[in-house]
Amino acid sequence: MSNMKKKKLTPTELRYDKLVKKIEPKRPILKNCVKAFLVGGAICTIGQCLQLFFITYLNFNEKTAVSPTSIVLIFVSALLTGLGVYDHLGQWAGAGSAVPVTGFANSIASAAIEHRSEGYVLGVAGNMFRLAGAIIVYGVFSAFVVATIKITIIWLGRM
């Protein structure tokens, strides 16, 4: 696409571009942002309620309640993906359902479900992390960079 902007368009291509812009439906950006905000906020609110449940009733503290909260959210997201509910939510909410940890679980579960006919090893296991692989790679790399910066700051502070 970036090459098209650099290249000089012929008069026919310019007319076609104008026609496409005129016919193409306008996206309701504000409406989509509100939907994403509401769904993403609802998912985070549910996560916060789960964390408070673990702290209040199961004697966890703030640090130790994070893991079971994430596990429950991931499990429910994978279950709803398997039942076909999360896909409808994702169609309606867009990025609001994709950004939290539940969206990550949905991407892995969707890939596993889609390729299960190819078998468990080559289908499910081989394709499960295809979409989520980039997230894992950049997450690990970001963690490495942040840890390196933190260790460097601590090391320089001791000098």
Amino acid at 137: V
- Global pTM reads 0.69
CA distances from 10 to 1, 4, 13, 20 (A): 16, 11, 5, 15
Per-residue pLDDT, 111? 77
Per-residue pLDDT, 8? 85
pLDDT in tens, the chain (159 residues): 445 556 788 889 889 988 988 899 888 999 999 999 999 999 999 999 999 999 999 999 999 999 999 999 999 999 999 899 998 998 999 888 887 788 888 888 887 777 777 777 777 777 777 767 777 788 899 999 999 999 999 998 887
Residues listed for the chain: 159
Query: What backbone torsions phi and psi does residue 114 show, to the nearest 5 degrees?
Result: -65, -35
- For 29-97, the DSSP string reads HHHHHHHHHHHHHHHHHHHHHHHHHHHHHS---TTTTHHHHHHHHHHHHHHHHHTTHHHHHHHHHTHHH
